[in-house]
Amino acid sequence: MANPLIEDLQWRGLLYQQTDAEGMEQLLNSEKVSLYVGVDPTADSMHIGHIVPLLTLRRFQQAGHRPVLLVGGATGMIGDPSGRSTERNLLTEEQIAHNVAGLKAQMERIFDFGKDGNGAILVNNHDWVGKLSVIDFLRDYGKLVNVNYLLAKDTIASRLETGISFTEFTYTILQGLDFNYLYDHHNVKIQVGGSDQWGNITTGLEVIRKTHEEETNAFGITIPLVTKADGTKFGKTAGGAVWLDPEKTSPYEFYQFWVNAADADVVKYLKIFTFLSREEIEALETAVEEEPHLRKAQKTLASEMTKLIHGEEGLEQAEKITAALFSGDLKALSVEEMKVAFAGVPSIELPKEDKNIVELLVEANISSSKRQAREDVTNGAISVNGEKVTDLEYTIDAKDRLEDAFAIIRRGKKKYHMLKFI
């Protein structure tokens, strides 16, 4: 019998590889299972490229299964060679502990950690790997995995020319050890990962098979790499990665990333990232085809994702800033919201002194000449902190310096500049 969850994952384009599709479907039809995703704490925040396996795990939780979230306090100190051409920089224990705390807080936004039923649980592989001696590791696990088996793995084979340390060479065995530990102690029967984790997942199944005399019942699935229709990398902006941490990527910037999705990508993103039903997504797909100018699908995607990661408060702030910028009504924003909204606009540093508006426009390169600056002012094209300025004798002074530090100048409908006073 077809499993509705598997059918939904296939429709959403979330299934790439399965170690035994038929066996896993039978397992999901017969019992509620525990399954896990591992995340190494290489930074104190995840970015949106990290969360597809986690969101997939949440879909399993919604279907009644238990998510086990593994934070790699141990493997994060070793470094995963997957998807890399060079060695990772090793982190200190203090850095790892700081990063683990950051990831834990973000996972708590995505999952239900309730103690009853299928509440998610968080584990740290340092709790068991950290207790192993070198002798224990080599005798108990090193003997299970043949070097030829490891050399055949893409993640290792691709590094043989450029070089790979013994440290990173052993990473896949450590991840296999994790799957085996969770299989024994948390009844975890499925590992979920990105497509680059296939080699690590299959090593885990190999370790489980060789450490159990009875027949085992474990599976692995991977999720395809998310790509954009134009072939460029997903999850990157001109400013870099789109982070889940609001200090690195504000809720407004996060919202803008999703609302600017191309028509060719937005339906795919709705399927992969949101928990909207098939009917809701198909209705939005129709809207993209028939009323693309309304951008209903993009606004829904941005709203759903911002609410999931930043909560209702983060969504409200993002929508408020978006509406104010669209209308030009900056007076609706607080000083803090203005700083967030204009973090990425062109800026210039100027001395903290009173200055005539025409002179300032030229000095800040907002208008090309004094003649142009005078035309801009008299034509009503210039606003200071949301207030239109039409007086050629207007002076920018303390009243215009927000927090005595900056001012926002708008020329025309959409060209904003931030003046930073020093």
Binding-site sequence positions for ATP: 236
At 170 the three-state DSSP class reads: coil
Q: Which residue has the tokens 């800033």?
A: 321
At 253 the three-state DSSP class reads: helix
Residue 401: C-alpha distances to residues 120, 321, 346, 394 (Å): 49, 20, 17, 14
DSSP line for 223-234: EPPPB-TTSPBT
| First-last CA distance in the chain | 69
Q: Beta 415-421 vs 347-350: how paired, if at all?
A: parallel
Q: CA 22, 28, 31, 35: dihedral to nearest 10 degrees?
A: 110
DSSP line for 39-51: E--SSSS-BTTTH
Q: Which residue has the tokens 């017969």?
A: 30
Residue 310: C-alpha distances to residues 119, 244, 302, 306, 307 (Å): 21, 8, 11, 5, 5
Q: Beta 188-194 vs 219-223: how paired, if at all?
A: parallel
Q: How many CA atoms lie within 13 A of 332 on its CB side?
A: 14
Q: Return binding residues.
A: 36, 171, 175, 236
Tokens coding 353? 């002194």
What span, in angstroms and rounded, lies between the C-alpha atoms of 340 and 272? 28
Cα 40 vs. chain centroid, distance in angstroms?
14
What span, in angstroms and rounded, lies between the C-alpha atoms of 8 and 13? 9
Q: Return binding residues for L-tyrosine.
A: 36, 171, 175
A 10 A CB-CB count for 236 gives 15
A 10 A CB-CB count for 67 gives 27
